[in-house]
Structure 1
Amino acid sequence: MINEPIYEPHCATARVLAALLSYPDASLRMALPELAIALLRDTMLSAEHRDAVFALTADLQQGDPLDAEARYVDTFDRGRRTSLHLFEHVHGDSRDRGPAMIDLRQTYAQEGLLLAPGELPDYLPVVLEFASTQPYEVAREFLAEMAHLLQSIHAALARQQSLYAAVVAAALDLAGEPVQLPETVPEAPAEAPLDEYWAEPVVFDGCSAAGQNAAPRVQPIQFVRRDAASPCRSKEAIV
């Protein structure tokens, strides 16, 4: 007799949060009604956090798609304070980031999960996807280890009055960590002015040295299992 994997409520919650922190392309917008239904059924988040995340899904559904995409890029791709790559907040571009990435990738591999080529293990949607594959206690402990980074990102988003702050706050709730008020979280050092970083090269006019005219770095989340078993296999696909 083969034991069926146990489905736990946090699995769907973590997948919804991972999806909402991903680039809001056409595929995500098509999935928004299903994500909203999953939120309505959610039993893991507090009502306050669930309603705040639901407000983001409604905004993405009702707003202009191009505005949503531009807002995402402005929010997450143009400043380290709100970067969704967690190790940027502690290691920046230093050599220490490489070993940390390797350690995290090995953590995934030990559970039989392999990242698709080009995906970085410290990308928050990937972190949440991994948590969705683990039993609840393991997932909560895993996310709690990164709570100080999530607090920093949430505070930066809250200072910008971004609806995306609700998703990071929900991730903290999932980790069993109280969300700190933005004014109690130390602000990261000032970064170089964005206008200077994103300035157009004079000689090449429309060509971009910093990549500002290129398509945003969309990172589809795809774990490849070595085996079919999963303690958190969902009864239905979330996205």
Structure 2
Amino acid sequence: MATTTPAFKALSALLTYPTPALIAVLPEIKSLVAAQGRTAEGLLRPLLNDLTGRDLYDLQEGYVDLFDRGRRTSLHLFEHVHGESRDRGQAMVDLAAHYETAGLSLAVNELPDYLPLFLEFLSTRPEDEARALLGETAAILATLEERLAKRSSLYAPIFTLLLALAGDGATAGEPAEDAEPADDLASLDADWEEAAVTFGPGTPGDGCSVDRLRTRLRAERRDARHGAV
């Protein structure tokens, strides 16, 4: 993979809700993916073909079923760390402030911890910084990759590629023990009693530095894995 910036932008787009606008830019996304090499192109070809060839309403229904109807495969990073605790609200504020400090403005309806948005943010950062920050979410990414693969989802290879992009910057997490309980709501709720992760704006002394941001991300590498039942 030659550069991270186009890869982050392409993967961010592929993880968004399927819309006519997304379908319209698929040729451009395919070109960006092809530029990353044969491995990336081969891994993503089934998803790209599916997005190109299937009815849009079917794509949208499948996306909602996969990502929006439960926490186990949620694309909101803090779901896998804070659940519905109060800490998540402050973490959202801190992350939004960090985006704004870096010059990324949020739309009214966007949550800062939405993975496609995080990837869009990374696409604006220097390569070393982007890889390092992505690496701090490796435990969440690996857990999502495993859960999606067990469902034979065409989205799973995106997480394989994200982990590859993180490379040496990826922080190790404990292996997920993912038994995928069917409809045990009590078990699902219990999954998310996890430790705090926050992002912070300001100077290196008050939370905006890359090192501080990485430190605050690190808590998830254990807690997200322990959230797998």
Please say whether Structure 1 and Structure 2 have the same fold, judged by a TM-score greater than 0.5.
yes
Q: Within the alignment, does 1:29 sit opposite 2:20 as a pair? A: no
| Distance in structure 2 (CA, Å) of the matches to 1:131 and 1:158 | 25
* One of 11, 15, 18 as aligned partner of 1:17: 11
Greater percentage in helix? 2
* Segment drifting more, 56-65 vs 117-126: 56-65
| Distance in structure 2 (CA, Å) of the matches to 1:24 and 1:73 | 10
Aligned length: 180
Q: How does 1:61-72 map to 2 (within 5 A)?
A: 61-72=52-63
Change (3 A) 1:193 1:70: farther
Match of 1:223 in 2: none
| Distance in structure 2 (CA, Å) of the matches to 1:132 and 1:93 | 28
Q: CA deviation at 1:110?
A: 2.0
Match of 1:135 in 2: 126
Change (3 A) 1:62 1:189: closer
* Segment drifting more, 170-179 vs 52-61: 170-179
Q: How does 1:45-124 map to 2 (within 5 A)?
A: 47-124=38-115
Percentage of matched positions with identical amino acids: 44
Instruction: Structure 2: give runs of 5+ residues left out of the alignment.
Output: 186-229
Q: CA deviation at 1:103?
A: 1.8
Counterpart residue identity of residue 134, structure 1: R
Q: Is the 8 A contact 2:33 2:40 kept in 1?
A: no
SS at match of 1:121: coil
> Could you report, residue by residue, the CA deviation over 1:59-85 in whole angstroms, capped at 9, with x for unpaired residues?
110122221111111110112110000
> Could you report, residue by residue, the CA deviation over 1:152-191 in whole angstroms, capped at 9, with x for unpaired residues?
1111111101000111221111111699xxxx42227747
Q: TM-score, normalised by structure 1?
A: 0.70
Q: Is the 8 A contact 1:81 1:188 kept in 2?
A: no
> Of the two, which has the highest radius of gyration?
1
Q: TM-score, normalised by structure 2?
A: 0.72
Task: Give the CA RMSD over aligned residues.
Answer: 2.2
Q: Is the 8 A contact 1:101 1:122 kept in 2?
A: yes
| Distance in structure 1 (CA, Å) of the matches to 2:54 and 2:9 | 23
Q: How does 1:186-197 map to 2 (within 5 A)?
A: 186-187=177-178, 190=181, 192=183
Counterpart residue identity of residue 18, structure 2: P
Counterpart residue identity of residue 143, structure 1: L
